[in-house]
Amino acid sequence: MRRAEFKAMVDTGSRMLDFVIKHQAAEIQYSIVARKNAVRKRLITAFALYEVMLGVIIFVIGVLALGRSVQNCLNASTLNAEEDRVRQILSNRMAEIQVTPGPPDTAKVMTIDTGYGPVKLVQKSMPAQLTEADGTNLIGVRLVTITAQWTRGGAPQSRSLQFYVYRAG
């Protein structure tokens, strides 16, 4: 208690006990208000924690979706590279047949090992039944069919190529 407060108490005739009670009541009131404010702060803080948790969950879902998209892109790139390899094999075999003198083989089977597994090439050749506008049969033209067969993920796949080869006979 300060000297001025004590002097005021003596001048007014108040008792010391009344002063102490008033002083403690003010402290109790301040303490109750402080506790209410602390509870409000905790509730607001807890709400912020839920907001952060919700944000993290949304972020995780986005990252998982992005990972899945990247995986699909990689699978598509692998499938595309495999298809390109098979097209290149068919194209190379067609060029070999066109450059080789003499008629193409009527039937031929070969296996080519690629980086994606073995590819079985089946070549068939037969005379093309082509006629001119006046009804004359074209002789020496053969229809060649090359079929590539392979497996992808246990499922059989195939791609075919047909073209004509002329050999004077």
If one counts every other C-beta atom within 10 angstroms of the C-beta of residue 104, the result is: 19
List of E strands, the chain: 107-114, 117-127, 141-152, 155-166
Check residue 94 and give its pLDDT.
Answer: 94
Dihedral angle, C-alpha 136, 137, 140, 146, nearest 10 °: 140
**Quick check: 143 and 167 in contact, CB under 8 A?**
no
In the three-class reduction of DSSP (H, G, I as helix; E, B as strand; rest coil), residue 130 is classed as coil
Q: Rounded to a whole number, what is the largest CA-CA distance in the chain?
A: 142
Given strand 117-127, what is the order of strands in its sheet? 107-114, 117-127, 141-152, 155-166
| Single-letter code of the amino acid located at 168 | A
Percent residues over pLDDT 90 in the chain? 47
Which range among 45-49, 83-87, 97-101, 127-131 shows the weakest confidence by mean pLDDT? 45-49
Counting every residue, how long is the chain?
169
pTM for this structure? 0.62
